[in-house]
Amino acid sequence: MRTIGFLIQKEFLQIFRNRSMLPIIFAVPVVQLIIIVHAATFEMKSIRLFVVDHDRSVLTREVCDKFRGSGFFRITGYSDLDRDGEQGMKQREADAIVVFPADFEKQVSMGRDARFQLIVNAINGSAGGLIHAYTQSVVQDMNHNLRKESGLISMETRPQQIDLTYTFWYNPELNYQTFMVPGILVILVTVISLLLSGMNIVKEKEIGTIEQVNVSPIRKYQFIAGKLIPTLLIALFELAFGLGVGKLLFDIPLEGNLLLVFFAAAVYSCVILGLGLLVSTMTGTQQQAMFVSFFFMIVFILMSGLFTAAENMPDWAQWLNHLNPVAYFIRIIRMVLLKGSGFTDIRPDLFALALLAVLSITLAVRRYRKTV
């Protein structure tokens, strides 16, 4: 134990002597939280709309005002030529085009159904879908007004209606930041755990110190513990720091038991540390270790459900996600922080994480024995 204690002390000495380390530990969480949380949002607040108006009537102007008034749209172009609309879309001046046919107002005034067209830039499919949905709601609103004006809806003829009332739980304001901050915290813990553990041992290989340690009576498990424990402590510190920043800057809810969050984070960090150790046994230089780590990290993070709902992924991907520690921890941290879930609620996920931790550390230690 005394030896491990001494190894940990030496590790911290080296970490804090590294001039770039302290800024990384403190600046990375703040910058990541501020930039990503603000920038990565699916809400669309100013969809750029190009209006191609062949009708040039009072009604089309009214529809345009409705779009503007909805708060989602900004009209960035107006013309009576189809060509101009296409041009606007190509030059990235418009996200969508609405085309009013020449007899638009006439059809409405004659009491017939009138049509106009919406063309959406759907390169980003989900954004395209959202634009369609927003447009739909604007048009519905419009229809409602039209019926009222023409007196179609009077007290007597009003049809039976089923009304839906709703409340949003856990995130009543549908605040995207509340959703993102816990996820970003997971990324933080991941980056710190994976890079610090992976790089650290490879660095000892690169400068040859690992041999000096290997010829000493020190045991392998002591050496590994001396490497992993400092990283674990730093990762947990990062989480605490990130939570503090998240609370201060974004006022994210902290519903559940924070101790539970940290316990889950420790288990999760062990999985990642094991992976880092595994990477460092397979590589000879810090550069190689960096590339391999990034490969794992990007796959894990993109599949984790941080940005997109993991439940919507194809079956095979969801099955693969059973091996993805990031997915478990993101779920756990969101459940505990936002829903206030307790230990029994997260038990299956926590259990899976613990299993992965045992697996990755066992694998890494076995490989480490063979190679070094």
Of 208, 311, 344, 370, the one binding other proteins (CB under 8 A) is 208
Beta bridge partners of residue 78, listed in sequence order = 51
CB of 211 to other proteins, least distance (A): 6
Q: Which is nearer to other proteins, 11 or 55 (CB)?
A: 11
Of 8, 40, 213, 240, the one binding other proteins (CB under 8 A) is 213
Judged on CB neighbours under 10 Å (0-12, 13-18, 19+), 70 is middle
Give the SS3 label for residue 96.
strand
- Please choose, out of 4-12, 59-67, 144-152, 263-271, the segment that lies near other proteins by the rule CB under 8 A: 4-12
CB of 10 to other proteins, least distance (A): 6
285 belongs to the binding site for other proteins (CB under 8 A): no
- Please choose, out of 3-11, 56-64, 136-144, 313-321, the segment that lies near other proteins by the rule CB under 8 A: 3-11
DSSP for 39-53, written as a single string: H-------EEEEEEE
Cα 283 to Cα 286, 334, 340, distances in angstroms: 8, 34, 41
Cα 62 to Cα 36, 71, 320, distances in angstroms: 38, 15, 51
- Please choose, out of 11-19, 66-74, 155-163, 177-185, the segment that lies near other proteins by the rule CB under 8 A: 11-19
Of 14, 124, 136, 285, the one binding other proteins (CB under 8 A) is 14
124 belongs to the binding site for other proteins (CB under 8 A): no
Task: Give the whole-angstrom CA distance, residue 251 versus residue 240.
Answer: 15
371 belongs to the binding site for other proteins (CB under 8 A): no
372 token code pair: 């070094």
Q: Which of residues 33-92 bind other proteins (CB under 8 A)?
A: none
Output Rg (C-alpha) for the chain, integer angstroms: 28
User: What residue has token string 């613990």?
Assistant: 354
Closest CA to 121 of 94, 87, 81: 94
Q: Which is nearer to other proteins, 7 or 194 (CB)?
A: 7
CB of 6 to other proteins, least distance (A): 5
Cα 171 off chain centre by: 16
Site track for other proteins across 161-200, x = CB under 8 A: ----------------------------------------
Of 1, 123, 162, 215, the one binding other proteins (CB under 8 A) is 215
259 belongs to the binding site for other proteins (CB under 8 A): no
CB of 28 to other proteins, least distance (A): 21
Of 207, 258, 323, 359, the one binding other proteins (CB under 8 A) is 207
CB of 273 to other proteins, least distance (A): 21
Q: Which amino acid is at 353?
A: L
Find the length of the chain. Answer: 372
Residue partners of 68: CB distance under 8 A and separation at least 6: 74, 75
In this structure, the dihedral spanned by the alpha carbons of residues 261, 264, 265 and 271, taken in order and rounded to 10 degrees, is -170
CB 313 within 8 A of CB 303: yes
Task: Give the whole-angstrom CA distance, residue 157 versus residue 361.
Answer: 71
CB of 219 to other proteins, least distance (A): 9
Q: Which is nearer to other proteins, 23 or 208 (CB)?
A: 208
CB of 253 to other proteins, least distance (A): 42
Q: Which is nearer to other proteins, 35 or 207 (CB)?
A: 207
40 token code pair: 């990565």
Q: Which is nearer to other proteins, 66 or 203 (CB)?
A: 203
Closest CA to 101 of 168, 29, 136, 51: 51
Q: Which is nearer to other proteins, 93 or 211 (CB)?
A: 211
CB 25 within 8 A of CB 245: no
Q: Which is nearer to other proteins, 18 or 140 (CB)?
A: 18
Q: Which is nearer to other proteins, 77 or 230 (CB)?
A: 230
Of 140, 214, 308, 362, the one binding other proteins (CB under 8 A) is 214
Helices (H), 70-219: 82-90, 104-109, 125-149, 176-207, 209-214
Beta bridge partners of residue 98, listed in sequence order = 51, 118
Query: Binding residues for other proteins, per CB under 8 A?
Result: 3, 6-7, 10, 13-14, 17-18, 207-209, 211-218
